[in-house]
């Protein structure tokens, strides 16, 4: 009994963890109009409906744009800051590190609310750009932390060698540091993409007419359960998982 108990527990927990995912994906292939048992598929009907829904497709494109854009900015800023803090002796370095990390410990709702108040006070319009700025705020600490943690001594020796051989600071960065740190930079990028892609509350507060996919799904929820929601939800899940697995493979390759 004591031998099989751990395996029973493991199986039970995996069932619990995958229960909602299974319901989401299975009933996205439902034939009828309600995503509940009995299953009467498989049918691609609802994926077909998603493909011809202009609002959903626009939201999907907006989400991708915001995710890629905010992640690119976050990773660029995070990389430069990590390089500056790892390679130069700056007064107050510990405080700067803390300041760059601290947005990670604040609720997204509060980050979004603060930005919303400032944007409204300045009389600026809400748009995908403002949502992208919000997503960069939450992704920058993560990108900085991941890249800073991977800046080790062996890259520093290579950088010094390149500099001794006459490379300019820009050449050192471009030809030595970035290629050596590529796995960490890409891992940070894909994790940022996932977080932004999945993020709801900041995007909800900081967009108005053009919205991201989670916000569009949110407004679809008001009309109740539908296999169409399952289909688009499955797509969202698949994209997130693909980005995480890419990040995981990159980290694995670095360690291997």
Element spanning 1, H or E = none
Q: How far is the CB of 196 from other proteins (least distance, A)?
A: 11
Nearer to other proteins, 88 or 209 (CB): 88
Q: How far is the CB of 225 from other proteins (least distance, A)?
A: 6
Q: How far apart are CA 77 and CA 195, in angstroms?
A: 17
Nearer to other proteins, 127 or 240 (CB): 240
Q: How far is the CB of 44 from other proteins (least distance, A)?
A: 19
Q: How far apart are CA 113 and CA 191, in angstroms?
A: 24
Q: What does 210-232 look like in DSSP terms, one character per residue?
A: S--HHHHHHHHHTT---HHHHHH
Burial 41-65 (b: 16+ CB within 10 A, else e): eeeebbbeebeebeebeebbebbbb
Q: How far is the CB of 7 from other proteins (least distance, A)?
A: 8
Q: How far is the CB of 74 from other proteins (least distance, A)?
A: 9
Dig out the tokens for 78 from the structure. 């995070």
Nearer to other proteins, 84 or 152 (CB): 84
Nearer to other proteins, 10 or 51 (CB): 10
Residue that the structure tokens 């107050």 belong to: 92
CB atoms within 10 A of CB 159: 20
Nearer to other proteins, 196 or 210 (CB): 196
């Amino acid at each position: 009994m004591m031998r099989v108990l751990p395996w029973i527990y493991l199986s039970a927990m995996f069932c619990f963890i995958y229960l909602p995912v299974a319901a989401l994906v299975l009933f996205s292939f439902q034939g009828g109009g309600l995503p509940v048992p009995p299953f009467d598929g498989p049918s691609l009907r609802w994926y077909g409906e998603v493909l011809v829904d202009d609002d959903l497709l626009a939201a999907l494109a907006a989400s991708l744009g915001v995710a890629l854009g905010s992640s690119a900015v976050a990773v660029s800023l995070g990389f430069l800051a990590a390089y500056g803090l790892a390679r130069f002796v700056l007064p107050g370095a510990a405080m700067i590190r803390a300041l760059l990390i601290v947005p990670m410990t604040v609720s997204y709702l509060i980050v979004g609310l603060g930005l919303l108040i400032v944007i409204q006070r300045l009389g600026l319009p809400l748009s995908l750009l403002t949502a992208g700025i919000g997503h960069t705020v939450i992704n920058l600490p993560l990108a900085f932390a991941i890249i800073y943690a991977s800046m080790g001594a062996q890259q520093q020796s290579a950088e010094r060698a390149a500099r001794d051989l006459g490379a300019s600071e820009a050449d050192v960065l471009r030809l030595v540091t970035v290629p050596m740190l590529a796995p960490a930079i890409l891992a940070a990028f894909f994790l940022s993409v996932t977080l932004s892609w999945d993020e709801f509350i900041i995007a909800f507060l900081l967009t108005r007419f053009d919205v991201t996919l989670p916000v569009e799904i949110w407004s679809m929820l008001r009309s109740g359960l539908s296999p169409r929601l399952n289909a688009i939800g499955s797509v969202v899940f698949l994209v997130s998982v693909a980005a995480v697995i890419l990040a995981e493979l990159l980290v694995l390759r670095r360690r291997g």
